[in-house]
A and B are shown apart, each in its own frame.
Chain A
Amino acid sequence: MTELLLLVLLLPLCGCLFILTTKKDNINAFNVAVFTLFAVILLIVRLLQLQNMQMYDIEPYVIKWFKEYNAKLHFRADIYSLLLLLSVDISLLIGAVGLTVKQRKNKTLMLAGVYLAWTFGGLFCAGDMISFYIFFAAQLLPLFMLMGKFGNMRKNSSLSLFFIFNFAGIMLLLTAIILLYKFNQGNVLLTDITTIGLPRHLKLAVWSLISLSFIIRIPIWPFHYWISSISAGIKNPLVYIITVMLPLTGLYGFMRFWQYHIPQIVGSYVPVIAVFGILTMLFIAIIGTSHKDFLQKLFSYSTVYYLLFLLSDILLNGMYKLNIVYALFIFMIVNSSLAVLDLWSENACEESNCGYHGILAYMPRLSKIIAFFVLIAVGLPVSSMFWNNFVLISAIFKANFAVGLGIMISISMVGMALLYELYVMSDLQTNYPATEITVEDISDRKLAFFIGVIILVFLSFFNPLWFII
């Protein structure tokens, strides 16, 4: 199993090397990327089967790095990391499938996609603070390149903001890790990190720095601005999915660093995070309703749900991690699918000049698929997200009624905003075209791919891990 884990970690790196050697303007890079992601997905499913839902059943793989400095790197995986990694790889695969022929020939994009799959793998399987930091920081450069190339270039300040915020987050985490390293005289396992004896003030400083570095990645007010400004205007499905995935790293950081309990010293500040979290949720949900673009509404939706998962983790003291991960697994897939499907419909709009209103009326196949995913996103019982959200929201109501109420209002608003946008996209009568328009619906292969995704999501309603049976 350890060898399989190592393969999961190294395969994307090999994929990167292969992509580097491909010719320019060639589809080979895309083929390598898809093959790599697909192979990693299969390996993760096999690992999940072998692990059989045990916590830390996989023996850690240890790299003896700088022996004299006591800096061994540990890589291990459990059900949380494997499921999240699986969801990330499936989302990236969905993003890759969503690319146009021209975009598929972009070698840089493919390289960045597979490289990020590798960094996500490393991050989720990191067992100690140094390896966690390495992969946490390693995501910045390719992201910066992708944003610069495919992001909203009308506003250069957005790119600066993205870099400043993320660089600041990395520096804060580095400072905290150096302090921990100094006091522990070596590297620290993430499972032991809360048990390190530190002076009171230093403990407060270290945990505040760690929390802040993760919060910067999760769009909590006032740090939400960089991600909202950068995601506006991204029209490349893979890049959009990668951008929307970033908060997952912050959320995972909280889940890993506060694995068993929240350190007492920062525990008293949890209500402050909860208040900011709930205000941001409401704020983003209200803003989501004011937008007239599906992708913007989807962004509001994803932000609100990330915050729901964050609040579920910190307010419930990590007791519902498995429910969070089950819900996140479906959430990531649904979010990516909706982004890809919307961008397809937007492309169809541009190519046929038929306008946004009623575009789905010309594309019955796409319309049915997008409607299914919107129904999941709204919260209908067609995936395991429904049941797990129910458990999480129930527990939040028990912990804090006002927070629960705020969450319900926010998720209802973003869900209904998405549903309304679906009607706008299907409503032909409001803007009926004068001339007959032909719009090409999605191809059979794409339809088959998304039917596969739908089956994956729908069967999770009966068993979240049906695919490992």
Chain B
Amino acid sequence: MIAYTALLLFLIGVFNSFKVSAGFDKVLSFFTFISLVFIFANFCDSEVVGSKEHIFSLAWNSTPGKDIKFDIISNSYNKQIIIPFFALTLLGIFYNLNFRYEESRSTFSSLLVFNLATLIIMVTSNNFVQLLTALFVVDILSVFIIKDSLSYRRYIMLNILADMFLFMVLAIINSQVDSLDIRQILRYKQSGMYIDFLAVSGFTAVLIKIGMFGFHIGFADLKNVRLHRLQQILFMSSPLAAIIVLLKFHILWQTSEYFIVYLNAACISTMFWSFYGVVFIDSFKSKIIYLQTMFWALFIELLRFNGFIWNDMLSRLLVAMYLLISCMYLIYYYHNRLPSAYQMGKLTIRKTDIQKYIFFMLWLLIIVMSGILTEIYNNSNRYYIWLFAVMFVLALSSVIQQIYFSEKNIALKSQDLPNKKAVFTTISGLSLFLLYEIDYMALPVFGFAAGFLILCRYFSLSANTELPTSWQTKSPFNTIYKSIISAIRHFGQFIRLFIDKLLIEKVIFSVAMFFSQVFIRIFRRIHNKLLSGGFAVFMLLILLLWLSFNKGEF
């Protein structure tokens, strides 16, 4: 079933990637969306029951030593993971259909469809090479989704670095278990060699791909990317690919005692750093990026509490967060795409009915998310879920307070959006559906819902324009990265000068030239019949004599 869906997606992607006229483009996008809705509905209805697995297998590459197979494994667990990915892609294509932000809607839709197909291949893969290949394809697709070479420079460099880490980790595992099958990684535990190194390297790759603390600069650079593209990257690109890798390899990594410590340290530091980013950096898109990294930190912790097993609650949380960012996306467009959140707040014409409606949807989503967290808490009993949740709501409310309740003085007309009814109906419909599905009658839900409203009205941390601009523009990580790269470059120049020029050219070759000159002088002396020349000939004769009497026995 999953293989069939992936094939259909691939075909739809290919069909959409052809260039068509502007008139036909919209029709094509519409039919693409409709067909995807049918495929999704069919996919959700399909019966993949219990432990029964259907494997679609294709001999992909055959070389001496090892064969690589392309496997798509259909089971209920994989289906459970794929459903939210599918839903998010559908939403992305839906926005693309309703907003006129792409010259070629069908091309952008094809990218999203290819991305989804690749993620499905990752989820269902059972071998290292298939997983790595799909991971690399996601990276390549992300370049096309971002479509801004200045913005994706560090993002791609960091992703390639993460890919190299994963390549190395998988090569080490393969070297020990002598199998490309991911299910065989448990055999690695028996040897246990370099397990700490594997866990730390592998998880570092995951952190880089998600943009966690220390590796967030790749994502921070994306603030100039169009918001609808940015949203896809934040959700559907490298972060989701990294989560899939985490789901596949956590069994092995967990055997290292450093893994959980590292994970906690990364998530907590990301939470605090992103909180700073959301509250104090006065760029609307940067706030969204940091809000998303906060969410991923929370999401990884929730995965851990759930034993790294995906479940419906996590799927719903992911969709709810996507809808929440969609609301932010609408706020951005209604506020004339102003880059500064503070300037948005000063927009005179605001608090229109539609903006009030967006605010209501945000509030609804806070209720949904706190409901989901309550359910996860009831299962895991980890109290510090609430610490993360409080920080998240605090950060979000600071942004909303700045936009909705700060001083107003700029007279700009609010921008209207095409097809707003369709978009709002979708977001509110989905939010209500999630609300219906969640057990929301709990004290924390009430607390968060009320707290969010109070914080939005009175939380003044976001009066951040008084902060020095250097706080907002200069990141210590920029300096750290630049220092590391320039240190490597300077070291390279130093060794090139010291070893190549000084040691080899000036010392070794000079010595070689000196000896060759000595030989030349000796031979000249022989030719000039000098006494020293005669002595040299005599010594050479003694050498020949010794060689002759040695009978060639060395």
Contact = CB atoms under 8 A, between A and B. Distances in A.
Interface of A: 157, 161, 164, 199, 201-202, 205, 221-222, 225, 228, 283, 286-291, 320, 322-323, 326, 375, 378-381, 384, 386-388, 390-391, 393-398, 401, 404-405, 408, 411-413, 415-416, 419-420, 423, 426-427, 429, 461-464
A290 B174 contact: no
B500 A290 contact: no
A379 B554 CA distance: 49
Q: Which 6 A-B pairs have the closest CB atoms?
A: A290-B492, A398-B175, A397-B175, A381-B133, A394-B174, A286-B492
State the main secondary structure of chain B at its contact with A: helix
B268 to A, nearest CB: 29
Interface stretch (B154-162, B248-256, B331-339): B154-162
State the majority secondary structure of interface residues on A.
helix
Contacts of A290: 488-493, 496
A384 B66 CA distance: 13
A387 B554 contact: no
25 contacts: A199-B553, A205-B554, A225-B504, A283-B499, A286-B488, A287-B495, A289-B485, A320-B65, A323-B64, A326-B63, A378-B160, A379-B167, A380-B140, A381-B132, A386-B133, A387-B129, A390-B171, A391-B66, A394-B174, A397-B175, A412-B164, A416-B157, A427-B150, A462-B61, A463-B61
A205 B176 CA distance: 37
A415 B136 CA distance: 14
Contacts of A408: 164, 167-168, 171
B172 interface: yes
A289 to B, nearest CB: 5
B554 A201 contact: yes
B194 A401 contact: yes
A406 B516 CA distance: 37
Given A289-B492, A426-B149, A394 B171 contact: yes
B68 interface: yes
Contacts of B495: 283, 286-287
B171 A393 contact: yes
Contacts of B139: 380
A429 B150 contact: yes
Most buried by B among A202, A320, A462: A462
A401 B128 CA distance: 20
Nearest to B496: A287
B164 A379 contact: yes
A358 to B, nearest CB: 10
Contacts of A381: 129, 132-133, 136-137
Contact of A286 (B128, B133, B491): B491
Contacts of A391: 63, 65-66
Contacts of B156: 419
A225 B505 contact: yes
Nearest to B65: A391
A17 to B, nearest CB: 39
A290 B288 CA distance: 36
B63 A387 contact: yes
Contacts of A157: 505, 509
Interface residues of B, number: 54
Interface string B76-102: 000000000000000000000000000
Contacts of B137: 381
B62 interface: yes
Contacts of A463: 61-62
A201 B485 CA distance: 49
B508 interface: yes
Contact of A222 (B133, B193, B508): B508
B197 to A, nearest CB: 9
Contacts, number: 130
Contacts of A320: 65
B60 interface: yes
Contacts of B554: 199, 201-202, 205
B63 A322 contact: yes
Contact of B61 (A199, A423, A429, A461): A461
B187 interface: no
B153 interface: yes
Contact of B149 (A286, A289, A415, A423): A423
Given A380-B139, A391-B65, A462-B61, 10 more contacts: A199-B554, A228-B500, A283-B495, A283-B499, A375-B140, A384-B61, A393-B171, A404-B172, A411-B164, A427-B149
A164 B504 CA distance: 14
Nearest to B194: A401
Contacts of A289: 485, 488-489, 492
A222 B504 contact: yes
B474 to A, nearest CB: 20
A426 B152 CA distance: 12
A271 B493 CA distance: 28
Contacts of B194: 401
A411 B68 CA distance: 24
Given A286-B491, A286-B495, A416 B136 contact: no
Given A199-B554, A380-B140, A462-B60, A397 B509 contact: no
Contacts of A397: 171-172, 175
Nearest to B503: A222
Contacts of B133: 381, 386
B174 A390 contact: yes
A329 B512 CA distance: 37
Nearest to B490: A290
Contacts of B153: 423
A132 B315 CA distance: 65
A84 to B, nearest CB: 17
Nearest to A429: B150
Contacts of A419: 156-157, 160
B167 A390 contact: yes
Nearest to A155: B505
B508 to A, nearest CB: 6
Nearest to A358: B149
A202 B490 CA distance: 46
A134 B273 CA distance: 67
Contacts of A291: 492
A288 B496 CA distance: 10
B500 A415 contact: no
A287 B501 CA distance: 13
Nearest to B66: A391
B492 A287 contact: yes
Contacts of B503: 222
Given A287-B495, A290-B489, A375-B140, A387 B61 contact: yes
Contacts of B66: 391
Contacts of B61: 384, 387, 461-464
